[in-house]
Amino acid sequence: MTTAQPVTPLNFPSERDGCPFAPPSAYERAREEEPVSQVTLFDGTPCWMITRHADVKAVLRDQRFSADIRHPGFPFINASRRALVAGQQTFIRLDDPEHARLRRMLTADFMIKKTEALRPRIQGIVDEFLDRMIENGSPADLVTAFALPIPSLVICLLLGVDYADHTFFQERSRILLNNEAAVEDVGRARDELVDYLAELADRKRRDPDDSIISRLVARGELTEREVASTGMLLLVAGHETTANMTALSTLALLREPEQLTKLRAQPALLKGAVEELLRFLSIIQTGLPRVATEDVTLGGQTIKAGDGVLCMLATANRDEDAFADADRLDVARESRRHVAFGFGVHQCLGQPLARVELQIALETLFRRLPTLRLAVPFEEIRYRDDMVVYGVHELPVAW
């Protein structure tokens, strides 16, 4: 690696040390002082941390950076992630043309038109979980009663997975996304999920329906393992992310009553407010990993072929060059340029669905519970510092 100025590399990841909604101050300092800077990973490997909005987009759209974890030099933030190199890969960690071949089979299912058509069904699901939470009485944990089951049930319906198995796949998803889980636990969780989906694919082969898994099987173009790993990617990515955004967004709005009042008074702000919350909270907290396949000059540094990079979405989304007064939550802001869903060929496939789910969940929650408030002091909330997807472990609320 060639560094323009010698710096003491940070050990990655750093802990959050200020506002729980903001990235660690060490990352923000890096963005101001040395936006393409060296960090040291858990096993001593050096890696580049990319912190500015323009640079993050430049890397994510540049074909000279690979997302394939089997590529030498790919950066792993812990041993269990490194251990996942062995075995069937999901397309989020493959390059084109392999990635494009698999992703193309799903694009129609996640088109805006298709997800917009799901609105009445999703509204029904949201109302049902909220009815149940209200029936059970105040206080409640918003994560288990509302934020998690909604996207979990929706992705099950789309995939053709039985929601009755939710404890099984939610527990394993949580292990897969836990940065501190033991290597063998992560491997086992992945294998069990793939086996579960392979069995489901087999059932759909015999008894087809209109679900995504059934249609993937019916195309006859994928191996059984490819169907199963694609199903696993959708199942894991499809519920943990939106669930944490729902709970964390609720907390952020309760913490900023002026913003909540503004949103309640002007429902037309809802879609923009969801984009602003995605920007402000940037829940994918450990950085999008890539490896350079050629030498690339960026931010005054030479990133050599074989060097790993981590694209930090949270610092990019709070870059003053992209968003004025970026540390402030402003539901009326124009924030569509955020990179909370990534950028380039791997940009989130499920973003139209996530948007619809978040808009309906937040609008319904704050409309139907006008007195919603935290049931514990703000300082007692426990955050998911140990997970790839940031959020809260539970959110006790009263109304």
For residue 59, give the H/E element and its range: helix 53-60
CA distances from 385 to 33, 238, 285 (A): 25, 20, 9
Identify which of residues 37 and 285 has a Cβ nearer to ligand HEM in the complex: 285
| Residue 346: CB minimum distance to ligand HEM, A | 3
Beta-bridge mates of residue 301: 298
Q: Does 148 bind ligand HEM (CB under 6 A)?
A: no
Q: Does 242 bind ligand HEM (CB under 6 A)?
A: yes
Of the residues 156, 237, 260, 360, which one makes contact with ligand HEM according to CB under 6 A: 237
Identify which of residues 66 and 241 has a Cβ nearer to ligand HEM in the complex: 241
| Residue 314: CB minimum distance to ligand HEM, A | 11
| Residue 364: CB minimum distance to ligand HEM, A | 17
| Residue 60: CB minimum distance to ligand HEM, A | 6
Q: Does 308 bind ligand HEM (CB under 6 A)?
A: no
Q: How many CA atoms lie within 13 A of 40 on its CB side?
A: 7
Strand ranges inside the chain, DSSP E: 10-11, 36-40, 46-50, 65-66, 140-141, 288-292, 296-298, 301-303, 308-311, 373-374, 396-398
Q: Does 247 bind ligand HEM (CB under 6 A)?
A: no
Q: In this chain, which residue has its C-beta nearest to ligand HEM?
A: 350
**Total of residues contacting ligand HEM (CB under 6 A):** 24
Of the residues 233, 247, 292, 362, which one makes contact with ligand HEM according to CB under 6 A: 233
Q: Does 350 bind ligand HEM (CB under 6 A)?
A: yes
Residue whose pair of structure tokens reads 């490997």 in the numeric block: 45
Of the residues 241, 250, 285, 317, which one makes contact with ligand HEM according to CB under 6 A: 241
Instruction: Say how many C-beta atoms besides its own lie within 10 A of residue 89's C-beta.
Output: 21
Q: Does 283 bind ligand HEM (CB under 6 A)?
A: yes
For residue 364, give the H/E element and its range: helix 351-368
Look at residues 224, 13, 233, 21 and name the one whose alpha carbon lies nearest to residue 106: 233
Q: Does 252 bind ligand HEM (CB under 6 A)?
A: no
Q: Which stretch binds ligand HEM (CB under 6 A): 6-14, 47-55, 350-358, 365-373?
A: 350-358
Q: For residues 40-69, which are near ligand HEM according to CB under 6 A?
A: 67
Phi, psi of 222 (to 5 degrees): -115, 150
| Residue 193 to residue 196: CA distance in whole angstroms | 5
Identify which of residues 1 and 100 has a Cβ nearer to ligand HEM in the complex: 100
Residue whose pair of structure tokens reads 């038109």 in the numeric block: 113
Identify which of residues 278 and 381 has a Cβ nearer to ligand HEM in the complex: 278
Identify which of residues 34 and 59 has a Cβ nearer to ligand HEM in the complex: 59
Look at residues 292, 300, 346 and name the one whose alpha carbon lies nearest to residue 71: 292
Q: What's the longest Cα–Cα distance across the chain?
A: 62
DSSP-based three-state secondary structure for 51: coil
Identify which of residues 186 and 278 has a Cβ nearer to ligand HEM in the complex: 278
Q: What residue type is 320 in one-letter code?
A: E
What x-and-dash track marks residues 6-45 binding ligand HEM by CB under 6 A?
----------------------------------------
Of the residues 16, 52, 53, 103, which one makes contact with ligand HEM according to CB under 6 A: 103
| Residue 48 to residue 56: CA distance in whole angstroms | 12
Helices (H) and strands (E) in the chain, counts: 16, 11
Q: Using only C-alpha atoms, what is the Rg of the chain?
A: 21
Q: Does 354 bind ligand HEM (CB under 6 A)?
A: yes
Of the residues 186, 340, 356, 381, which one makes contact with ligand HEM according to CB under 6 A: 340
Q: Which stretch binds ligand HEM (CB under 6 A): 44-52, 121-129, 296-304, 341-349?
A: 341-349
Instruction: Give the chain's end-to-end CA distance (angstroms, integer).
Output: 55
**75's tokens:** 């950066």
| Contacting positions for ligand HEM (CB under 6 A) | 67, 91-92, 103, 155, 233-234, 237-238, 241-242, 245, 283-284, 288, 340-342, 346, 348-350, 353-354
